[in-house]
Structure 1
Amino acid sequence: MLPFSNEDIQLWRGQLIDALQPEKFRSWLLRHGAGEIVGLAGGVCTCPLHCYLAEVLPWLDASVGKWQINTFFPFKLNESHHALQLYYFADFDKYPPVPQWVTLFVGDLDSQYGHDPVTASQALAVLDSIAQTVTVH
Structure 2
Amino acid sequence: MAFENSDLEYSTSEMKVSVEEVAGFKSKTNAKCFVIKVSGEVNIFSAKNLKALIDDVANEGNNKICLNLSDLRYLDSSGIAVFIGSYAALKKKNSDLILFSLSPQIDKIFEMTRLKSLFKIVENQEAAIQKAAG
TM range (shorter): under 0.3
The structure carrying a bigger strand percent of its residues is: 2
Q: Point out which structure has higher relative CO (alpha carbons under 8 A, 6+ apart).
A: 1
- With the length of structure 1 as denominator, give the TM-score of the two structures: 0.27
- With the length of structure 2 as denominator, give the TM-score of the two structures: 0.28
The structure carrying a bigger helix percent of its residues is: 1
Decide which structure has the larger Cα Rg and report it: 1
